[in-house]
Structure 1
């Protein structure tokens, strides 16, 4: 039995807030994005990336549009160090990209870091020390003043070395475990660091207030951000940054509310990779902005490629239900969902402004290089006529009449149910052909039809019925009616031709017309047939013959 009494909140709400962020709907512009995949994300991997993999991942981040990329903790390992030197010495850093390195506020680590970034065209030196109550008391066993002095010593050394080493350096400070730190103390430490670093509007400094461990509901973090944002020294020369982890599963919400509360920059990882439950997911954050009409300034349009490179280089898996990126996030198996999506797609085509309002799809899958037939309408035993009909129409060009579409829906669902599997579009089309299309068995095969004009239109039908060729004659008030009468007289069958529709079939180069016929039999059952041919009259005849043959096809013959 779990014991809730052993837990108590470890966070510290600020003493006063204006709560201006509550009145905002959403961020109205993109933040500055910093990818920490190659540092925070990489150190969380069971098998960290090799030099070659890190270079490939770096290039991916550049293509996506990240202008700030934390490339490692160069004092932590030789691979980290070599990666950084490779980027600098081989001139692999684009002019508009700033690299970032992380260092603790410890002298030997800071010095090793500056050795690693010497000659960088532009680099952020990110220094930090932990300030939380728990770490002060349990790990360091130091007072607030002693913890503050660690930060100040680190700031002084960073500033000193930035003047001694060759390079273009910017600065970032983080009070690690900010969420477990008293806001007034975190603010005091940050302001003391700012006073030492003396940032200017032309060369601002980053103050990063990380959610090192999620401890509260997201609105508490937003309050902490707003409180500090209002009280930081030299605020115009400060870029307020956030680095949320996801321990409570609300990292995205933490970030979105922090942006409302004054944060201007986000440190994040693709697909939420990172320590423990991960960092905030850059993909979800950016796409959430996009669907609200805000340009995130990151390009995830080739999502399949991004997922492939990420999974291969990190050996991590993008979950099937991962927002925007998962293999099944756009998939609709439910019949009602499929029907709504299919109807929404029709409305979208008729909207002159091209607005995206399709039910169940907050974003157009094609914007992420996903396809409707392969990724959206997915067919299994839970599917309905709307989605199945949508696949036939959009992928193969067949627009079945409503009652035939319903009948085909049950046929497909029955096959899926008996096989306990999803059916791919080509499998659905194969079932359609076996059930309805140009059927020449088991009863009759129409070989030739001639029409004789006279007082009444006369059809001469040559057909093979159960292996024997026969010729039938009948009149009618139209060509299909005459052929229908000839078939009924030749076979002795009784039925009513209840439904007939036709349309051009542009998706198929070998046939220009498609026709559908529905027959009502004396016992109340209906059968359906479809015909395709370059001659629309003969396509209708083939559909009629198919509907007759369908009466005699056993269920297992369509699989």
Structure 2
């Protein structure tokens, strides 16, 4: 029997720290349910003390998930730990993950604390967390640049205090595989009570080594890997869950452990996270990229036709590609629509919500002959963001663009209960439309990113537009989809405007003084 490798997904916490990737409470619940279908062992739902909105999101996830353990992050502070304990109260299985920095530069420059004080805070935090749950995880932040002797001291102390999982984070992505693997092996060997805890790793991808470092740690004794869907995360991201899991599964001859994940759910989960966050997956991304199982070279095509294993080390079906081909159309009924939506992880809260979504589906079906799962994912995102809490809504849009003339746009939007109409010219139809909207809403934000991706193939495919706005350091992503790319752009901009106007400003989980 091989050891069990615990998969700890932090898409909803560390993944959300990507600039513009903040998620609503309902979006977090949808992703959490998709992770549960994927059979992820632990879902880190957020940082409850960061804001009231994040507290409510973690609470909602805890109350919605039945089989996976739900985890909340907390600094080594009493209030943080108490908020996490309260948010997780409704979970069938709960974990509190507390952390404090241990590298010399962090202790001296950020915390202004001595090593002895750091150990004291860590032990106190673990003991307090144990009042809420027996499942407590401790992380020495920036362990990759911490002194090994000090790591041994603090980890031994927190195990004695009741920590059951020790997570070793390469917080700034500084480590290289042989070095990081050796660190894990040394800690397990040197810490007298190491057998009383599971060793975990959390690697960042600043040097493109997050997955390699994680796998090296597994070979050297780590039995939990913290990762995210699509490698989402702050800066260059985290270790990609799909890459770690499929490496373990494909190279079972190398790794002395196995996961319990249903890998057929990987692609669906990837597309959901991409749709909600507005972060597209690059075509050549391993496992979940559009070209991951594509072959254009004649030599490769010939080999695959003769024997798939000549150029493919995995089956596309094993990660969910083949299972993602159900097609709906204009003649599909409500039951088929509702059933497929449920399979994609979206539960309608009322008949009114179902009716609204079905009307949108029929409208899309009039524009497109075939509706794929990717279209439904985009429709779900539209339904979940277009609700009564949205202050600004698109009513009408008219554009004029012809050769030799300056493009212009006239837009009508509803702000609260009032309708406003404005016009603008621009370098193109999209530019004119966004300028017309901005003239009405007057956010004063800077457009940092404008990105267009086709959701499916064909000239009638929906275009998915992502815009990123920055206002005084607050960064939000807006997402919009439509068969008309100009309308999709307007939807995306308005979606971002509504997020900017939201009062729920999510504080960075590691901001503030300890």
TM-score, normalised via structure 2 length: 0.59
Aligned 1:18-37 pairs, distance under 5 A: 29-37=3-11
Secondary structure in 2 aligned to 1:194? helix
Secondary structure in 1 aligned to 2:28? helix
Q: Is the 8 A contact 1:45 1:314 kept in 2?
A: no
Structure 1 residue aligned with 2:212: 253
- The offset of 1:253, in angstroms, is 0.9
Separation in 1, partners of 2:199, 2:273: 29
Structure 1 residue aligned with 2:420: none
- The offset of 1:251, in angstroms, is 0.9
Aligned partner of 1:82 among 26, 51, 56: 56
Secondary structure in 2 aligned to 1:275? coil
Aligned 1:70-469 pairs, distance under 5 A: 70-88=44-62, 91-94=63-66, 96-159=67-130, 161-162=131-132, 168-197=133-162, 205-293=164-252, 296-345=259-308, 358-370=309-321
Q: Is the 8 A contact 2:55 2:83 kept in 1?
A: no
Deviations, residues 462-499 of structure 1 (Å, cap 9, x unaligned) = xxxxxxxxxxxxxxxxxxxxxxxxxxxxxxxxxxxxxx
Structure 2 residue aligned with 1:65: 39
Separation in 1, partners of 2:79, 2:284: 44
Separation in 1, partners of 2:296, 2:191: 52
- The offset of 1:64, in angstroms, is 0.5
Unmatched 5+ stretches in structure 1: 1-26, 163-167, 200-204, 346-357, 375-559
Secondary structure in 1 aligned to 2:287? coil
Change (3 A) 1:369 1:130: closer
Separation in 1, partners of 2:86, 2:314: 46
- The offset of 1:102, in angstroms, is 0.6
Deviations, residues 268-292 of structure 1 (Å, cap 9, x unaligned) = 1011111111111110011112222
Separation in 2, partners of 1:58, 1:369: 18
Which is higher, the Rg of structure 1 or of structure 2? 1
Q: Is the 8 A contact 1:287 1:296 kept in 2?
A: no
Deviations, residues 373-394 of structure 1 (Å, cap 9, x unaligned) = x9xxxxxxxxxxxxxxxxxxxx
Separation in 2, partners of 1:228, 1:97: 28
Secondary structure in 2 aligned to 1:297? coil
Separation in 2, partners of 1:289, 1:231: 27
Q: Is the 8 A contact 2:103 2:146 kept in 1?
A: yes
Is structure 2 residue 31 aligned with structure 1 residue 40?
no
- The offset of 1:227, in angstroms, is 0.6
Change (3 A) 1:370 1:92: closer
- The offset of 1:156, in angstroms, is 3.5
- The offset of 1:79, in angstroms, is 1.9
Say how many residue pairs are matched. Answer: 320
Change (3 A) 1:369 1:173: closer
After the TM superposition, which parts of structure 1 deviate over 4 Å for at least 4 consecutive aligned residues?
A: 27-30
Secondary structure in 1 aligned to 2:198? strand
Q: Is the 8 A contact 1:240 1:264 kept in 2?
A: yes
Secondary structure in 2 aligned to 1:230? helix
Separation in 2, partners of 1:194, 1:289: 28
Change (3 A) 1:303 1:87: closer
Secondary structure in 2 aligned to 1:37? coil
Separation in 2, partners of 1:331, 1:264: 33
Q: Is the 8 A contact 1:190 1:207 kept in 2?
A: yes
Separation in 2, partners of 1:236, 1:79: 38
Aligned partner of 1:52 among 26, 29, 36: 26
Separation in 1, partners of 2:247, 2:91: 34
Separation in 2, partners of 1:281, 1:196: 32
Separation in 1, partners of 2:285, 2:266: 12
Separation in 2, partners of 1:323, 1:28: 26
Stretch moving more, 57-66 or 139-148: 139-148
Separation in 2, partners of 1:331, 1:69: 32
- The offset of 1:326, in angstroms, is 0.5
Unmatched 5+ stretches in structure 2: 326-514
TM-score, normalised via structure 1 length: 0.54
Deviations, residues 227-284 of structure 1 (Å, cap 9, x unaligned) = 1011224333211111111111011111111011111111110111111111111100
- The offset of 1:369, in angstroms, is 4.0
Stretch moving more, 244-253 or 227-236: 227-236
Secondary structure in 2 aligned to 1:99? strand
Q: Taking CA–CA contacts closer than 8 Å with sequence separation of 6 or more, which of the two structures ends up with the larger relative contact order? A: 2
